[in-house]
Structure 1
Amino acid sequence: MKPFEIFCACPPGLELYLQAEALEAGFKGAEITAGGITFFGLWPNVMRANLTLRGASRVLARFAIFRSFNLSQLEKQTRTLDWAALLHAGTFVRVDVTTRKSKIYHAGAAKERIEKAIRERLGQAEPNEDPIKIMVRIEDNMCTFSVDSSGAPLHQRGHKEAVGKAPMRETLAALFLRASGYQGSEPVLDPMCGSGTFPLEAAEIAAGLHPGRSRNFAFERLATFMPERWTDLRSSVPKPIETPHFYGSDRNAGAITNATSNANRAGIEHLCTFTHASISDLMRPDGPPGLVILNPPYGARIGEKKQLFALYGALGTTLKTRFRGWRVAIITTDTSLARTCGLPFSDTSAPIPHGGLKVRLHQTKALH
């Protein structure tokens, strides 16, 4: 089989960091595109991308591309594709179509024609709640067919069950950690840790654990699935980078309970310490300096913004007086809230989509 294009999605504005991760992981030729990265490979590359890439939110395998100018032509060309090589007979498929600058302008009609052609090739399927998703993009009359090889979004690692309000997705946390210069060899602390996403993600990186080790994927239900190759991939455990320690604290005792439970399920409880504490009670851990990273309340999601200025001010005071030598990274929607910390931010990112809002990553160099 010839190599095909593989697309790994991530939030717009963070493609550079996903590209860096993919290149480090050996996905040669990874290039940035809008909302993700692309590279060419075969089905083992698709499986490995799902298993190992922490920043990817979804992996699509682009298996067909052709030009089409009307619905009848689209249906005929869809029917000629080798569906049996991709899908088992009777597979329940959901087709999603987007169309732009094309003579085929009605996405709903295109969806009906494509689904009809697939049914004629594979037979009628019993509907279920977990279909194989075929994504079709029609742009400038060029039709690109992709299969979603991931299934559930990749931030659903499979071992984090306890979450609180406004959680940070694991995939986004991994990209923010990379954007903050974290490479696995320094301690990380989140003083508003919630369910522990940042410390847990940082600990898994340092421990060399595959992010997808505890879950299933849609590609396991495709006709292209290679069980023996998949077993080999899952059993290949990368060497740990370092063994620093990772810390989280929160003024909500329930959050600490959740974070501790999540660490236990992930098998990294020995690398993490979670403490019930307010910002003013936060103390610097023993050992070398590292990275303080947090996703504090914005006001628009959890509380009134006016009430948050005192919180951000207290955070800045604590970090300036007790965390000299540490770098700080804060994710927030409002630059004025970040400035309230009084920290010497040297870098601020472009807006990044997060939970229906736009956030920015504000970073400092090592505090003096």
Structure 2
Amino acid sequence: MSTAQPFEIFLAAPPGLEAALAIEAAEKGFGPTTEHPGGLSFMGGWPDVQRANLELRGAGRVLARIGSFRAFHLAQLDKRSRKFDWAAFLRPDVPLRVEVTCRKSKIYHAGAASERIKRAISETLGAPLDDTAPLRLMARIEDDLVTFSLDTSGEPLHRRGHKEAVGKAPMRETLAAMFLRDCGYDGSEPVVDPMCGSGTFPIEAAEIALGLLPGRARHFAFQDMAGYDAEAWEAMRAGGPPRDTPLRFYGFDRDAGAVRMATANAARAGVDHITEFTCQPISALLPPEGPRGLVMVNPPYGARIGNRKLLFGLYGALGEVLRTQFRGWRVGIVTSDAGLARATELPFLPDATSVAHGGIKITLHRTGALR
């Protein structure tokens, strides 16, 4: 993979979290970035692509814009696709999936455009085309401009590679990381999740505290592209040794199966030595010994789990325990229902963060330190 010519790199993010991802990207040395609906872009090279996949906790995917040209009809698309230097990016032995979208262009039939691009790749490079292949080329034809992008991630980046066991309505790791960030979490305080499910919040918080790279344990699509340097990648992925931390991260759930799942996931993530998961109800929740920190919770909400009317009592009980037992702690609650959030009677700050997730809109409600 040549690094001589910079190209546009796009970091996908759920709408509503672009600004949070921009802050993380800047902290990691990427940019300057430009925000777009659903993500942000910056100019860089292949080492930036690899490092973004490896290090960014909030990005859902990393796309590489590998080239573009004008095309006003299918014959022109066919001719210019054949002249494109596919061998600079793709291997002839790796199956490829091609996806095309057309908007405001003289070429308006995505299926016909896809056939021309596929044929050009097949006949000039020889790569097999497969609609189920992990490696994906996206062609966007907008205002008669054809832009080719490669999905360098493969599987979505929230799949860190260690959370094999999940319960109902699991929180994606990328969302959890951005919500933790929005609550001011930086790895220097404990985190408690009273309804931990498969353990996403405590595990993500523990990884941040230890300085573990989120993509350290998985495969990425760029590893199957032309010019991939395995030795350089392994050196990048090795990073430095994990930091030490005296902090502990706690998850509680009344479901013993969820506690077992969270415990197993933490072990696979390599954070089991600083995480504790316990089976207990909200009524038994007490702050752990040590410094105060952040309570982070994604309770059930009626849109997915449970009956909404019955949930008011649950949220009320959660709020009462936090108000009376967790003075000095901050709280973050993720829910799709503002009425349920209000039932906690917690002093939420006015600037709530809302995100589209799984077909519904969820909102992070935050407090300052409880008094």
The two structures have a TM-score, normalised by structure 2, of: 0.96
Alignment of 1:265-284 (within 5 A): 265-284=268-287
SS of equivalent residue, structure 1 residue 342: coil
Q: CA deviation at 1:247?
A: 0.7
Correspondence for 2:155? 152
Alignment of 1:109-124 (within 5 A): 109-123=112-126
Instruction: Verify the 8 A CA contact 2:134 2:155 in the aligned structure 1.
Output: no
Q: CA deviation at 1:128?
A: 8.2
Alignment of 1:95-106 (within 5 A): 95-106=98-109
Alignment of 1:207-286 (within 5 A): 207-237=210-240, 240=243, 242-286=245-289
Deviates more, 1:127-136 or 1:340-349: 127-136
Instruction: Verify the 8 A CA contact 1:44 1:229 in the aligned structure 2.
Output: no
Deviates more, 1:103-112 or 1:240-249: 240-249
Partner of residue 85 from structure 1, selected from 81, 84, 88: 88
SS of equivalent residue, structure 1 residue 5: strand
Name the CA shift for 1:169/1:160 in 2 (closer, same or farther; >3 Å): same
Alignment of 1:335-346 (within 5 A): 335-346=338-349
Distance 1:348 1:278 in 2: 30
1:362 aligns with 2:370: no
Distance 1:91 1:216 in 2: 15
Q: CA deviation at 1:241?
A: 7.7
1:76 aligns with 2:79: yes
Count of residue pairs brought into register by the alignment: 368
What code does the residue aligned with 2:314 have? Answer: L
The two structures have a TM-score, normalised by structure 1, of: 0.97
Distance 2:8 2:164 in 1: 33
SS of equivalent residue, structure 1 residue 346: coil
Distance 2:193 2:187 in 1: 15
Partner of residue 65 from structure 1, selected from 65, 68, 74: 68
Runs (4 or more) in structure 1 with deviation over 6 Å come to none
Offset from partner CA, 1:160-200 (integer Å, 9 cap, x none): 11110000011111111111111110111110100000000
Offset from partner CA, 1:199-255 (integer Å, 9 cap, x none): 000000110001111111110110031112101101112663844211110010111
Instruction: Verify the 8 A CA contact 1:348 1:360 in the aligned structure 2.
Output: no
Distance 1:131 1:358 in 2: 29
Deviates more, 1:120-129 or 1:332-341: 120-129
Structure 1 unmatched ranges of 5 or more: none
What code does the residue aligned with 1:135 have? Answer: M
Alignment of 1:299-314 (within 5 A): 299-314=302-317
Distance 1:122 1:238 in 2: 41
Distance 1:251 1:243 in 2: 27
